[in-house]
Amino acid sequence: MIKPLLHEDPSHIGGYRLAARLGSGGMGTVYLARTPGGATVALKTVHAHIAADTAFRTRFRLEADAARVIGGLHGAQVVDADPLSEVPWLATEYVLGPPLDDAVAVSGPLPEAAVRAVGAALCGALGQLHRSDVVHRDLKPSNVMITAYGPKVIDFGIARALGDDRLTRVGVAAGTPAFMSPEQATGQEHTPAGDVFALAGVLVFAATGRGPFGSGQPADLLYRVRYAEPDLTGVPAALAAVLARCLAKDPALRPATGALAAALHDGHGEFADHLPHPLLSEISRRAAEVWQASPERLPAPEEPLVTATAAPAPRRAGPSRRGLLVLAGTAAAGAVVGGGLWLRSGRSDAEGTAKGTAKNSPTPAVSGTGTAASPPGPWDLLWTSGRGKADDAMPPLFVGKGIVVTTGGQLRGIDPADGSELWMFFPTLFEGRAVTDGSLLYWTVGVTTDDYSVVTVDTDTGRQDRTVTTLSALKLPKGASAELLCATPDTVYLTAGDDSAKTFDRHLYAVNARTGKLRWRTPLKEWKKGSGYSGAFGKVVGDRIVVGQTSYDLILSAYDTGSGKELWRTSLEAAADSFSTLVSSGAQLADDGKHLYIGSTVLQSIGLSNGAVVWEFGRDRDFGGVTNGDDHYGPPTVRDGVVYAAEGGRGIVALETKRGELLWDAAVPEGSATTAVAPPVVSGKHLYYADQSGLGAIELSGHTYVRSLESSIRNFALMPGKDTLVGNGTWREVDALRLGG
């Protein structure tokens, strides 16, 4: 989507005149720009604070090199680049078409002929890379652009030459979990066979609208990729047989790109002839958009900006396939077709200003993101933060008086008063988990055992403050990795070590938060021999830390916080399976000081004293078409002797804590559905739950549905001591809502 330039945007970069914004995110901004001769390009820039990182500049240069290798036939042609500039930039062609995930959203799953044509063309793209000894390493639907002439592969941010480990820490899985190969998921060498595995996953998505290993938390996805069989339900039988070979766990059993292309398509017919009409219309719309007049530059705001979403213009019927090819060719003649090497054409991250907009009147105000004000309900929209897409898989953190969210592997500080961005912290090329004790914020930096450190981040400035410990200080061997679990005012807890299935040697560490000295360490145990480590979460409750490891089953263990002695360990077979979401952090683990409460295939109460299952609920409930392979219950919350949880997509259940007996359930109406993302929040007279459209509300006294708020909110939490809910979103970033009585 083409949007106006902001007042602070430059007029020229590297000799290119900036005409409009295509989008902005946590990494940088992508502009629509013109060459001196009038040709159109997509010009991608990097935020200055990120460009200051030497390793990132190296990655930026390698990305441009990989894009040049794939060329304009199979990728977004690189026109020009300056990775050494104070603000590094990269100019590419503007790709006339949507990313594959948008294409499926517009037209539904593609017909078999289209999937085969896309797959064969992508084999050509990957073959071009592989012949130059380059692997993509992050092929996924959002990195495949569909044009009238064929797909183009974009975003080479983690592509690299075969055998080049300069920017890859051994044992770290870099990429997108849902489309990783098994070897990539364990941090091993990613060869061309790994790209073939990812390609098969992309084609399963094209044919069905979902990946071959479901959805959920990264740790769950990584485990399924390594051990579960792919779900090819809905893939045409002949195509499924081809893709099954590509999804073999053993890389040696997968076909090469040349053989796969021959098995997918015979090469006859124009590419556009295979595409469904709604998708052709979308390609046409995006091609025509290039020729629309560039929007005016926005003036500097003098007061908080309030905007409302305009009604979309009626879409005209799309042209014929031949007409579409003519239109696309004409556009290409005057516009170097480019765009989404970093930010996909047509789905720009909300930009607005860096400052959120406070609520100054009875009508809730929003920032300049084009989002409508909140509808009437038991809430007031205080502000919408206006920069950088937040990671909706992780709940927001409340540190001191501020808010911290994770944004693409970075930390972002937000002022709770008005949503303004206080700082961004870009510590490393790899994602991690931030934890807090309520006063201090802990994070990890570094990419090798020698420099990998646990540090504190100053929440006033966003700068790295103090090094708590390093992996070398913990005497871990080279190649070890670490993961923060949780923190208390005196102790930081993390897991570290070798997490491979063959040589599993991972421990739970307790480190003095003030001195950095090791208090104790204790070995973690595998779910079963050879299963390895697929991630964990932790929470301190009283005098013990409870650690959960996710695999097919949920393994819960409790350790004495003073000595590290394992107090109990239990496997909850009914609590998790290969398609379970569970919780994304220990902060979402519900407890009342005596019991833990877990929601997945059933709701369970677990005794903190011995790990025994006290009660379970839901095994005999009628879930309609929902199978035992799906989450029946979301992560619960407990309040005043009542456990609340989302039940499937149909509503909320409330159970008493002692025996797990049903107190009441509340159904949501057709068109609204509960989701298993965040624990419900109880505030005043209402319960607030994650809804497929954003946020929903249940009136507690009557146990009745009130309404839903259409919002990008997916994961949320209640600010301590306040009636303010803060939610991470997908397109509107971070929202703050004042909850009603």
pLDDT, tens digit (0-9, with 9 covering 90-100), for 696-728: 999 999 999 999 988 878 889 999 988 999 998
| Domain boundary pick from 231, 258, 274 | 274
**Cβ neighbours for 35, distance < 8 A, ≥ 6 positions apart:** 15, 16, 41, 79, 336
| Domain boundary pick from 573, 600, 621 | 573
pLDDT at 629 over 60: no
Q: Show the tokens assigned to 233.
A: 């339900």
Whole-number percent of the chain with pLDDT over 70: 74
Question: DSSP character for 478?
Answer: T
Would 512 be classed as within a structural domain? yes
Average pLDDT over residues 679-691: 94
Does 444 or 486 have the greater pLDDT score? Answer: 486
C-alpha triplet 416, 421, 427: angle, nearest 5° = 115
Q: What is the pLDDT of residue 117?
A: 95
Q: What is the pLDDT of residue 66?
A: 64
Would 330 be classed as within a structural domain? no
Average pLDDT over residues 290-308: 58
Q: What is the pLDDT of residue 242?
A: 96
- Exposed/middle/buried for 279, CB within 10 Å: 0-12, 13-18, 19+? buried
Angstrom CA distances, 273 to 37, 204, 406, 501, stand at: 34, 21, 43, 47
* 528 band by pLDDT with thresholds 50, 70 and 90: low
| Cα 490 from Cα 693, distance rounded (Å) | 40
Residues 94-145 have pLDDT tens digits of 888 889 998 998 889 999 999 999 999 999 989 888 887 778 778 899 889 9
Q: Could you give the number of structural domains in the chain?
A: 2
Q: What is the pLDDT of residue 252?
A: 92
| Cα 187 from Cα 202, distance rounded (Å) | 21
pLDDT at 213 over 60: yes
* 332 band by pLDDT with thresholds 50, 70 and 90: very low
Q: What is the pLDDT of residue 582?
A: 57
Q: What is the pLDDT of residue 312?
A: 37
Whole-angstrom distance between the N-terminal and C-terminal Cα of the chain? 39
C-alpha triplet 671, 382, 405: angle, nearest 5° = 85
**CATH code of 485's domain:** 2.40.128.630
Q: What is the pLDDT of residue 267?
A: 79
| Cα 50 from Cα 57, distance rounded (Å) | 9
Residues 605-614 have pLDDT tens digits of 999 999 999 9
Spell out the alpha helix ranges (H) of 425-533: none
**CATH code of 242's domain:** 1.10.510.10
* 641 band by pLDDT with thresholds 50, 70 and 90: very high
Q: Count CB atoms within 10 A of the CB of residue 529.
A: 7
Q: What is the pLDDT of residue 134?
A: 77
| Domain boundary pick from 522, 547, 573 | 573
Task: Answer yes or no: are the C-beta atoms of 341 and 154 closer than 8 Å.
Answer: yes
> pTM of the entire structure?
0.57
| Cα 152 from Cα 124, distance rounded (Å) | 10
* 26 band by pLDDT with thresholds 50, 70 and 90: low
pLDDT at 323 over 50: no
Would 443 be classed as within a structural domain? yes
* 535 band by pLDDT with thresholds 50, 70 and 90: confident
pLDDT at 575 over 80: no
Would 151 be classed as within a structural domain? yes
Would 474 be classed as within a structural domain? yes
* 499 band by pLDDT with thresholds 50, 70 and 90: low
Q: Count CB atoms within 10 A of the CB of residue 493.
A: 25
Task: Answer yes or no: are the C-beta atoms of 382 and 738 closer than 8 Å.
Answer: yes
Q: What is the pLDDT of residue 459?
A: 93
Average pLDDT over residues 47-72: 68
Q: Show the tokens assigned to 94.
A: 């503007």
pLDDT at 59 over 80: no
Question: DSSP character for 498?
Answer: E
> Mean pLDDT of all residues in the chain?
79
Would 316 be classed as within a structural domain? no
Residue appearing with tokens 């441009």: 64
Would 231 be classed as within a structural domain? yes
Would 492 be classed as within a structural domain? yes
| Cα 8 from Cα 26, distance rounded (Å) | 17
pLDDT at 339 over 50: no
Average pLDDT over residues 558-587: 76
- Consecutive H or E run containing 212: none
* 426 band by pLDDT with thresholds 50, 70 and 90: low
Task: Answer yes or no: are the C-beta atoms of 499 and 517 closer than 8 Å.
Answer: no
Residue range of the domain that includes 152:
100-274
Q: What is the pLDDT of residue 341?
A: 32
Average pLDDT over residues 539-544: 96
* 437 band by pLDDT with thresholds 50, 70 and 90: very high
Beta bridge partners of 71: none
Residues 403-412 have pLDDT tens digits of 998 865 678 8
Q: What is the pLDDT of residue 631?
A: 65
Average pLDDT over residues 457-475: 91
Closest CA to 71 of 9, 124, 2, 137: 124
Q: What is the pLDDT of residue 481?
A: 77
Does 220 or 688 have the greater pLDDT score? Answer: 688
| Cα 4 from Cα 300, distance rounded (Å) | 12
Q: Dump the DSSP string for 537-580.
A: EEEEETTEEEEEEESSSEEEEEEETTT--EEEEEEETTT--TT-
Q: What is the pLDDT of residue 502?
A: 64
Q: Count CB atoms within 10 A of the CB of residue 662.
A: 12
* 486 band by pLDDT with thresholds 50, 70 and 90: very high
| Cα 44 from Cα 7, distance rounded (Å) | 18
